[in-house]
Structure formats: structure tokens, C-alpha cells
């Protein structure tokens, strides 16, 4: 289980980092809809690449014109990465399943444990977003903050918070380390194992209150829970969902799509 969690954490950070780095290329909603109804994945990739080429050629404040202290974006490499990702993954769409994907009572197979199944509960279904939480959202800068402790005594908190979008992992504490890691949180991952490891498995009221307090600090942030990976964490997911509903927390829940998880595996 430890190796699975480690692999999933690495994959999560990698896919999010690639997603936000490549999604900076502006595109309109009309163009998105046109491409999604095109002639397949190859057509989508080629069209997006051509669209991005036009951005480079246009004068103005394209992100490809941006450079900071001698650093310059490698536009060719960005486009190549973007083209390859779009062959099998639309991160904006697949970052979360949506309410229309399932109905209460549906049975799905776990991605890493295909012999086991999960029933979609009423609580889980009620917390599914109506549309992707990242739909039409674009950012110039993004910070991905890990939990290794390397930022201790770094005084990087202000710099992190100055980014347009901040991703954090596994509900790491921030208040007591604000000077080093900042406090802004826009997208937070939460492996179900965190409930046991950091919040005592909700064995008592104190553990539950601690968890609720942590989530209450997220406000309108996206809480990203990989609920469909392996058997064993479903009870923790249900406990989390129940507490969110009971306490009417404003956090926006998201559950990575099966397509995204398969893409990460592959």
C-alpha cells in the first residue's frame, strides 16, 4: 500500500504540473467544442497544435513572448508536450467525474483492483460537480507545493501565495508553517489514507473536529479525492463526504475520472 500511495502521489503531482503548464495556451470555448466533436484524437491534437502556432505568430502578450530574468519558454517543446497529452488525455475534462457520469447505486470497478467494485452512494453522488471544476479556468503562474519538509525555514510563503493558482498535496498543515509554505490553496489532493494517518481514522470527536476545521480553511478550494483507485479506502471517502455534508462545508469536491487514472497508469 505504501508503494501504491507513493506512486499515486508522484503521478498526481506530475499530471497536475503538466496540465497547468500546458493549459496556459489560451483557447476559446467555441474552439474547444469544435475540436471535441472533430475526427478523433489525431485531429484534435493536430488542430490544437495549429491553433497554438497561431498564438505564437500573433504579436502581443502571448505567454510565449514572456521571459523572466533570462529564462525563456521553449515554445516548441511546450507544443510537442501538449500535442502528445491531447492524444490520450483532456486534463480539464478528466480532472473529475461529473454528476451526470453516474447515478446512486451504480457499481464501478476499482482502477488498480479490477476484481473489486464500489457502489456509488447517495452522499458521493450529491458531491459530484455538475461540470469540471477546472472548466474554462486559465492561469499564468502555478505553484505545486509538496510535503517533504524541504521548505522549512525557506521563507517562501509569500512567493508561493503570489502565484495565480496553488496546488497542495494530502491536506498538509499550512497555518503553523505559513511563513515557509504560504496559506493560499486552490487545489488540494487528499488520498483516503490521510484520514487514518493524520486524523486518527475519526476514532473520536476530537479527530473529526480537527478534520472539519482543516477543511473549513479551504473555503471554495477544490478538494481532489482519488476515490476509485483501490479497495480499502471507500469507508474513509464516505466518512469525509458525510462530514462535508453534515457541516455544510464550502469546499468543492472532485473525484478524478476513470479515464484520467487509466491514463496516469499507462
For 233-243, what is each residue's pLDDT tens digit?
Answer: 888 999 999 99
Residues 54, 76: Cα–Cα separation, whole Å: 13
In this prediction, residues 107-116 reach a mean pLDDT of 82
Q: What is the DSSP letter of 251?
A: P
pLDDT of residue 64: 47
pLDDT digits (tens, 9 = 90+) for 153-162: 999 999 999 9
What pLDDT, on the 0 to 100 scale, is given for residue 149? Answer: 87
Whether the Cβ atoms of residue 31 and residue 94 lie closer than 8 Å to each other: no
Q: What is the DSSP secondary-structure string of 54-91?
A: HHHHS-SS-GGG-EETTEE--HHHHHHHHHHHHTT--H
Take residue 226 and report the three cell numbers written for it: 482519488
Is residue 84 within 8 Å of 78, Cβ to Cβ? no
Domain 95-265: give its CATH architecture: Alpha-Beta Complex (3.90)
**Predicted TM-score (pTM) above 0.85:** no
Q: Quote the pLDDT of residue 95.
A: 87
Confidence of residue 266 (pLDDT cuts 50, 70, 90): low
pLDDT at 226: 86
Residue labelled with grid coordinates 496553488: 166
pLDDT at 248 over 60: yes
In this predicted model, what pLDDT tens digit does every residue of 168-213 receive, in sequence order? 999 988 999 999 999 999 999 999 889 999 999 999 999 999 999 9
Interval 46-92: pLDDT, tens: 333 344 444 444 433 444 444 567 788 888 998 898 888 777 777 77
173-203 burial string, b = 16+ CB within 10 Å, else e?
A: ebeebeebbbebbbbbbbbbbbbeebbeebe
* Domain boundaries along the sequence of the chain: 2-91, 95-265
Amino acid at each position: 500500500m505504501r508503494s501504491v500511495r507513493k506512486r499515486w502521489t508522484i503521478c498526481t503531482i506530475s499530471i497536475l504540473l503538466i496540465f497547468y503548464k500546458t493549459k496556459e495556451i489560451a483557447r476559446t470555448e467555441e474552439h474547444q467544442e469544435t475540436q471535441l466533436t472533430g475526427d478523433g484524437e489525431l485531429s484534435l491534437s493536430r488542430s490544437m497544435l495549429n491553433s497554438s502556432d497561431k498564438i505564437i505568430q500573433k504579436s502581443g502578450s502571448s505567454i510565449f513572448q514572456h521571459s523572466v530574468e533570462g529564462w525563456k519558454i521553449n515554445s516548441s517543446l511546450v507544443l510537442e508536450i501538449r500535442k502528445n497529452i491531447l492524444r490520450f488525455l483532456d486534463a480539464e475534462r478528466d480532472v473529475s467525474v461529473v454528476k451526470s457520469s453516474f447515478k446512486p447505486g451504480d457499481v464501478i470497478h476499482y482502477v488498480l483492483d479490477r476484481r473489486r467494485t464500489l457502489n456509488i452512494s447517495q452522499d458521493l453522488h450529491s458531491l459530484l460537480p455538475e461540470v469540471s471544476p477546472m472548466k474554462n479556468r486559465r492561469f499564468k503562474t502555478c505553484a505545486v507545493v509538496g510535503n517533504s519538509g524541504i521548505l522549512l525555514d525557506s521563507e517562501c510563503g509569500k512567493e508561493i501565495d503570489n502565484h495565480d493558482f496553488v496546488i497542495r498535496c494530502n491536506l498538509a498543515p499550512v497555518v503553523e508553517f505559513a511563513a515557509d509554505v504560504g496559506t493560499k490553496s486552490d487545489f488540494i489532493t487528499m488520498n483516503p489514507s490521510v484520514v487514518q494517518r493524520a486524523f486518527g481514522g475519526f476514532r473520536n470527536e476530537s479527530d473529526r473536529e480537527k478534520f472539519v476545521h482543516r477543511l473549513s480553511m479551504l473555503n471554495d478550494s477544490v478538494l481532489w479525492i482519488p476515490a476509485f483507485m483501490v479497495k480499502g479506502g471507500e469507508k474513509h471517502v464516505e466518512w469525509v463526504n458525510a462530514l462535508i455534508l453534515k457541516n455544510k462545508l464550502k469546499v468543492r469536491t472532485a473525484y478524478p475520472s476513470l479515464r484520467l487514472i487509466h491514463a496516469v497508469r499507462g
